[in-house]
Structure 1
């Protein structure tokens, strides 16, 4: 969890992701020993100084207080809502994203009911408990959001953030009632890490339906295809969970297009070997990779719509 105790905010919070994976699996991090001078743009002294500069390795931020971490996470979630609106993954009042509070892990932040994703700011988010009661905020919350996300956060301590919207390709692919196939490098990010919930029982308004979704998601999967409904993704960070949703939606689109282009549908597709797909997953499918993948999108949307951080 992002924080296990309800201690004062002066305590250094825990960063909710493993950081023991070396970044050299996807980035060049060593500086060359070759000495050169870029003629016309630097002197020999400037060149020698440049060679001494350490290479910056982007990683997870560190926080001095729970307040600082909470603000950061709220801003990331608000930026995620703006991206969902930009990509037209919103649908009326349907769709919700939540994250577990870093100081009080039995509470989670969520969007209010009937607010356009493209207008959501960090300050608009509502804090609720696992009994469906509002702790902070003065707007109502989607009941289905509580039933789905409350069940997931209650059952999976590793899930910091959960994402579910009614995106067009996700809900279309969900009608197949089957998992994604390893047909591309990108789809390998979900290989062996997602499942299908085959029993659509209507809008999720009961605790029983929420528990059924949790059971279908399983103890370790990061994503779930809800048959006749859509997609749900989770993550150890807000960044990761949002990225997996965006990536899974595109994988659904890719497979629909690929199957449509073949006379025999999925039976004609060339699948990546299982062992190879599992190897690719180890490189692009873990929490650290998901976190990194989100950063360019976060930079883009916050520059386009900086008010989401307010």
Structure 2
């Protein structure tokens, strides 16, 4: 017996009409694309209240230079950062392009993640209220809905707090504990998510934070019921799809560029 795919389903893992990855004519073109998405992601962090003073950073690998990554500079508000503000940092922590300084915490955390995890093209870190609250309880996300299932079996709780992350050894320890997981919740600190693209890493951050909020609300109201193992795997296969994560960020990109086009200033 032969079966045919219903006409309303697309030929993707999720059945959704998701576009494929962008193609670039040169490393310079891809670099500009990544920097624009990075600036947009930082503005989105500002818009959605993920800023906390000097804390928080998002990085993306340079498409051509090994060991180099682009990251937001120290002391520039998420709400004001532009493409021209971004800095390129090498494996020693030196700023090799850009006019601002690097946040020491950004260097020790992101350099270690990019070094130890070849699949982590980007990493996002913030001290959000929901992640800090969940981390203080020593709890990870439970698969209580479709979105949280995206992290089922792909999240780590990091409990070895030793003060602000400015030591290379601590950054490597965080990266080693993260491994190839999608998220690491730092107890007493905040949240880090990674992805095979800037778009994925940032989408997972937004999703994890909203799931943390839902879980905290559910726990305050009663005892939430989790998916079964089989249900969590099924939901995670859809809502944890990398292509879906990349496309979901595109919606946020369209939103923030429409609202704040100055973020593209170089």
TM-score by length of 2: 0.93
Matched with 2:212 is 252
Distance 2:166 2:232 in 1: 37
Deviation at 1:170, TM superposition (A): 1.0
Match of 1:25 in 2: 14
2:155 to 184, 194, 205: 194
Question: Are 1:223 and 2:183 matched, yes or no?
Answer: yes
**How far apart are residue 307 of structure 1 and its match?**
1.2
Match of 1:10 in 2: none
* Runs of at least 4 residues off by over 4 Å: none
Q: Give the aligned length.
A: 256
The question of 1:240 aligning with 2:229 is answered no
Q: Deviations over 1:228-247 (max 9, x none)?
A: 11110001111110110011
Distance 1:211 1:275 in 2: 34
Counterpart of 1:94 (choices 55, 58, 82) is 55
Q: Is the 8 A contact 2:155 2:185 kept in 1?
A: yes
Matched, 1:82 2:10: no
Partner in structure 1 of residue 245 of structure 2:
290
Answer with 1 or 2: which has the greater Rg. Answer: 1
CA shift for structure 1 position 216: 1.4
Provide the rounded CA distance (Å) in 2 between the counterparts of 1:60 and 1:303: 22
Structure 1 pair 283–199 and aligned structure 2 pair: CA distance change class (3 A): same
Partner of residue 260, structure 2: 305
CA distance in 2: counterparts of 1:119 and 1:112, whole angstroms: 11
Shift of 1:61: 1.1
Q: How far did residue 58 of structure 1 move?
A: 2.1
Partner of 2:112: 151
Distance 1:270-1:305 versus aligned 2 partners, 3 A rule: same
Shift of 1:24: 6.2
Cα distance between partner residues in 2 of 1:250 and 1:229: 17
Question: Structure 1 stretch 283-292 or stretch 141-150: which is displaced more?
Answer: 283-292
Q: TM-score, normalised by structure 1?
A: 0.80
Q: Distance in 2 between matches of 1:105 and 1:247?
A: 30
Aligned partner of 2:127 among 166, 190, 200: 166
Could you tell me which runs of 5 or more consecutive residues in structure 1 were left unpaired when the two chains were aligned.
Answer: 1-20, 30-56, 263-267
Q: Deviations over 1:142-185 (max 9, x none)?
A: 00110100111111111000000111111111101121100011
- Counterpart in 1 of 2:4? none
**Inter-partner Cα distance in structure 1 for 2:82 and 2:100:** 14
Task: Kindly indicate whether residue 242 of structure 2 is the aligned counterpart of residue 281 of structure 1.
Answer: no
